[in-house]
Homo-oligomer: A and B are copies of this chain.
Amino acid sequence: MKQNNMLAMILAGGRGSRLHELTNKVAKPAVSYGGKYRIVDFPLSNCANSGIDIVGVLTQYESVLLNSYVAAGGRWGLDARNSGVFVLPPREKADANLDVYRGTADAISQNIDFIDSYSPEYLLVLSGDHIYKMNYAKMLAYHNECNADATIAVIEVPKREASRFGIMNTDENGCIVEFEEKPEHPKSNLASMGIYIFNWKTLRKMLIADMKNAGSNHDFGKDIIPALLADNRKLVAYKFKGYWKDVGTIDSLWEANMDLLDSNNDLDLSDPTWKIYTEDTTTLPQYLGPDADVKRAYITQGCVVNGKVKNSVLFTGAKVGKGAKIIDSVLMPGVEVEEGAVVTRALVANDIKIGKSAKVGSADSEHIELVAKRVKGVE
Contacts and interface: CB of A to CB of B under 8 A. Distances in A.
B98 A64 contact: no
A47 interface: no
B93 A62 contact: yes
A111 interface: yes
Interface string A54-95: 000001111111011001111000010100111111111110
A24 interface: yes
The quantity of this chain's copies bound in the complex is 2
B86 A71 contact: yes
A100 interface: yes
Nearest to A72: B84
Interface string A92-115: 111000111000000000010110
Contact of A89 (B73, B81, B91): B91
Contact of A68 (B67, B84, B93): B84
B84 A114 contact: no
Interface centre among A60, A68, A94 (most CB of B within 10 A): A68
A79 B74 contact: yes
A280 interface: yes
Contact of A94 (B24, B87, B93): B24
Contact of A86 (B61, B67, B91): B67
A282 interface: yes
Contacts of A113: 64
Given A64-B114, A111-B64, A84 B98 contact: no
Given A59-B91, A67-B87, 20 more contacts: A60-B92, A61-B94, A62-B91, A64-B88, A64-B91, A67-B88, A68-B114, A71-B71, A71-B84, A71-B85, A71-B86, A74-B74, A79-B79, A81-B280, A89-B89, A89-B90, A90-B98, A92-B100, A98-B99, A98-B100
20 contacts: A59-B91, A60-B91, A60-B98, A61-B92, A62-B91, A63-B92, A64-B88, A64-B111, A64-B113, A67-B87, A68-B86, A68-B114, A71-B71, A71-B84, A74-B74, A79-B79, A81-B280, A92-B100, A98-B99, A98-B100
Listed from nearest, the 8 A-B pairs whose CB atoms lie closest are: A68-B86, A64-B114, A98-B100, A89-B89, A61-B92, A71-B71, A63-B91, A89-B91
